[in-house]
Amino acid sequence: MSHFALLDDNNIVTAVYRGRQEDDGQEQELSNRTGQTYRQTSYNTHGGVHTGGGTPLRKNYAGIGYTFDPARDAFIPPQPFPSWILNEQTCLWNPPVPYPDDGGDYTWNENTQLWLPVT
């Protein structure tokens, strides 16, 4: 099953549609037929890795509000906080301080630039 992200004039994803398997690789034909811009996306791709061991497609599965970056040929999610940095390999946002690995639940505090325990 193929999935296609509909892009606006700023390459922002406005919708994601499920297509037929035979539509795989047909984004240009779909764009020409509709007069809109579509880019294929794969729900099996996250952080540049295909979860089923196949070939990843465009770094991440597209979601509404994601940006399609033609230079990277990648879908990039919205930046969650101004301090977070784009990982060029995964096209995902990383916090400036790594998430604690002690098994606890934390939330990011942008003002202090720290992970705070969830209570």
Give the model confidence (pLDDT) of 71-117 as tens digits: 999 999 999 999 999 999 999 999 999 999 999 999 999 999 999 99
Q: How confident is the model at residue 28 (pLDDT cuts 50, 70, 90)?
A: confident
- Cα angle 78, 64, 54 (rounded to 5 degrees) comes to 90
Please check whether residues 91 and 113 belong to one and the same domain.
yes
Q: Which domain holds residue 71?
A: 1-78
Collect all residues with Cβ–Cβ distance below 8 Å to 99 and sequence separation of at least 6: 106, 115
Name the residue with tokens 């033609």.
Answer: 70
Question: Can you tell me the mean pLDDT for 43-62?
Answer: 96
11 and 69 co-located in one domain: yes
Rounded-to-integer distance, Cα 102 and Cα 56, Å: 31
Same domain, 73 and 23: yes
40 closest CA partner among 53, 56, 101: 56
User: Are 110 and 70 in the same domain?
Assistant: no
Clarify whether residues 63 and 86 are in a common domain: no
Mean pLDDT of 2-27: 88
Distance (Å, rounded) from C-alpha 37 to C-alpha 32?
8
Q: What is the pLDDT of residue 19?
A: 81
Looking at the structure of the chain, the number of domains it has is 2
